[in-house]
C-alpha cells in the first residue's frame, strides 16, 4: 500500500469458492457493508472479470452518493480487487483475499487503500455531510463489521 489504509480478517467455515461467489456479487454488497447499499454492473458486464465496471451506491446518515468502480484483479477463489474512480488515478482501492485456513475453512481479508488522500476540504465536507470525523478510522471499522457480517451470511 502506498496510501492510507486498513484491513480486517476473519476465518469462515466455507470454501474459498463459496466465499468468492459471495464477495464478487457486487449486487449483494449492501448485505454486509455498513455503508454500501448495493451495486449494479455497467456496460453489459455480468460478473467479476478484469475491466468490468459497476456503480456502487452508498449511504451515511442522510447523505447518499454513488461511485463508479472497475475490477482490476479477479482470481477465482483467491482475490478480488477493484478501484473507485478513474483506474489510472483511483481514489480508493478495495481488495478481498481468500486463503485456506484449515479443513473446510477460509480466511477472508478485506482491505482498503485511500490512494488519493483526503485533503482538508474533503475532510471538512465529509464531516459536515456524514458526521464522520476520521474517514480512515471509520472505513477501518466498516471493514471489521463487513467481514464479521460476511462470516454470518456464509455460515447461515
Domains and CATH numbers, the chain: 4-155 (3.30.530.20)
pTM for the model: 0.88
The helix (H) or strand (E) run that includes residue 92 is strand 92-100
* pLDDT digits 0-9 by tens, 30-82: 999 999 999 999 999 999 999 999 999 999 888 898 999 999 999 999 999 99
At 125, list the grid cell.
465536507
pLDDT at 126 over 80: no
Amino acid at each position: 500500500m502506498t496510501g492510507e489504509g486498513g484491513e480486517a480478517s476473519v476465518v469462515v467455515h466455507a470454501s474459498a469458492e463459496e466465499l468468492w461467489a459471495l464477495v464478487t456479487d457486487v449486487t449483494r454488497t449492501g448485505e454486509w457493508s455498513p455503508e454500501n447499499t448495493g451495486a449494479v454492473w455497467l456496460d453489459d458486464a455480468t460478473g467479476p472479470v478484469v475491466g468490468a465496471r459497476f456503480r456502487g451506491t452508498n449511504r451515511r446518515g442522510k447523505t447518499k452518493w454513488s461511485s463508479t468502480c472497475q475490477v482490476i484483479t479477479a482470481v477465482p477463489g483467491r482475490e478480488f480487487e477493484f478501484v473507485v474512480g478513474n483506474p489510472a488515478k483511483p481514489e480508493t482501492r478495495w481488495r478481498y483475499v481468500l486463503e485456506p485456513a484449515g479443513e473446510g475453512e477460509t480466511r477472508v481479508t478485506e482491505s482498503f487503500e485511500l490512494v488519493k488522500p483526503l485533503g482538508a476540504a474533503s475532510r471538512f465536507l465529509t464531516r459536515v455531510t456524514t458526521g464522520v470525523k476520521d474517514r480512515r478510522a471509520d472505513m477501518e471499522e466498516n471493514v471489521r463489521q463487513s467481514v464479521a457480517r460476511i462470516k454470518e451470511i456464509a455460515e447461515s
